[in-house]
Amino acid sequence: MGAALSSQWARLLGEATGDEARGARVVAWHVRAADSDWVSRVWLGAQNDSGLHAPAIAVDGREGWWVCFALPCAPSARPPAEAVAVLRELIRTWLNQGGAGVSDKDAAAWRFTCWPNEAPADGVPVPRQVGPDRWSAFVAPDLVPVFAESPWLDCAPGEEGQAALLNKLQPIPAADWERLLAASAQGASGRALQSAGDGEAPAVSAGAVPQGDPRAFLLSVMNDPGVELALRIEAARVLLAHG
């Protein structure tokens, strides 16, 4: 791919060096083709329910979709554990408001990819050829039904069109991210208290997570058995690094 697309990814990912390369600036939520209706629900929920910029939508070239969110640009990339935990909570909320009935166990099984730490060497995660006659590519929201049964393009997409779609992906403002961080921590803590009241093992610390306290949030992620082990380890690493 050429300069137009590369410049859009550079705008979102920034310089990925040192510890920064392990951070998250763009997070892609993986959606199975069988759950294609969730893509549009989340795309609308981000805008209508949370007042965020529209996420980008891409076919992954294999089994479904990526719904991509751009995180705050400055001052640095977010810890992957934090980014995934916030988005997992948000997406679960948006889907359940639409009647999807997603449980904690369901949400814990979702997969996320964080870029730039998982980006290809050329810094262009999408579009890419992922198999014979199969390409990942960004698509317009109204085309989701078209790719529901075959989430791929059979030839390389046009660079200008891909760059134009990616240009619409704008980072979540830092102030909004802090608000979402606090809300997601409170939501997880509230459900843990409810589970404890029902006689179940709490998923996070029973004490309420202080609003706007990233350290308490990371502690809740680290101690949450429903979160992927790699993300719990990442939360512990960030806590150790920052005391």
Sequential DSSP letters for 120-176 = -TTS--SSEEEETTEEEEE--GGGGGGGSS--SBSSPPPHHHHHHHHHT--PPPHHH
Q: In the prediction, which pLDDT does 94 show?
A: 95
What pTM was computed for the model? Answer: 0.79
For 150, residues 6+ apart whose C-beta sits below 8 A from its C-beta are: none
- pLDDT, residue 193, reads 44
- CB atoms under 10 Å from CB of 116, counted, come to 24
Q: Residue for token digits 């910029």?
A: 53
Q: What is the dihedral of CA 135, 10, 56, 154, to 10 degrees?
A: -10
**Contact at 8 Å (CB) between 28 and 66?**
yes
d(CA 94, CA 91): 5
Residues lower than pLDDT 50 in the chain: 17-19, 192-197, 200-211
Q: Read off the pLDDT of residues 190-242 as tens digits, 9 standing for 90 and up.
A: 554 444 445 544 444 333 444 456 667 777 777 776 666 666 666 676 666 55
Domain boundaries, the chain: 3-172
